[in-house]
A and B are shown apart, each in its own frame.
Chain A
Amino acid sequence: MNVATKKWIFLKISSLILIPLMFWFIINFVSIYDKNFEEVLSFFSNPVSRFLFSLFIIFAFFFSALSISEVFEDYISENNLKNVANRLLYLSAIIIPLITIILIFRLN
Chain B
Amino acid sequence: MENKNPLSPHLQIYRWQISSLVSISHRVTGIVNFVAIILICIWVSSLVFGETNYSFINSLLDSIFGKFITLGITWSFSFQILCEIRHLIMDMGYGFELKTTRISGLLVIFGSILLTIIFFILGKNLF
Contacts and interface: CB of A to CB of B under 8 A. Distances in A.
A44 B88 CA distance: 31
B44 A37 contact: no
Nearest to B87: A15
Given A44-B44, A60-B33, A12 B124 contact: no
Contacts of B98: none
A91 interface: no
A68 B78 CA distance: 18
Interface stretch (B4-12, B14-22, B101-109): B4-12
A46 interface: no
Nearest to A14: B84
Given A15-B87, A75-B7, A103-B44, A64 B34 contact: yes
A79 B40 contact: no
B47 interface: yes
A38 B58 CA distance: 11
Q: Please tell me the size bucket of the interface on B.
A: 35 or more
Contacts, number: 114
A77 B7 contact: yes
Majority SS at the chain A contact face:
helix
A34 B123 CA distance: 12
Given A34-B62, A60-B33, A74-B7, A26 B77 contact: yes
B81 interface: yes
A19 B34 CA distance: 15
Given A34-B62, A37-B58, A61 B37 contact: yes
Given A37-B54, A77-B5, A103 B45 contact: yes
B97 interface: no
Interface string B80-117: 11001101100100000000000000000000000000
B62 A15 contact: no
Given A26-B78, A37-B58, A100-B41, A64 B47 contact: no
6 contacts: A27-B122, A29-B74, A33-B66, A36-B58, A40-B58, A79-B3
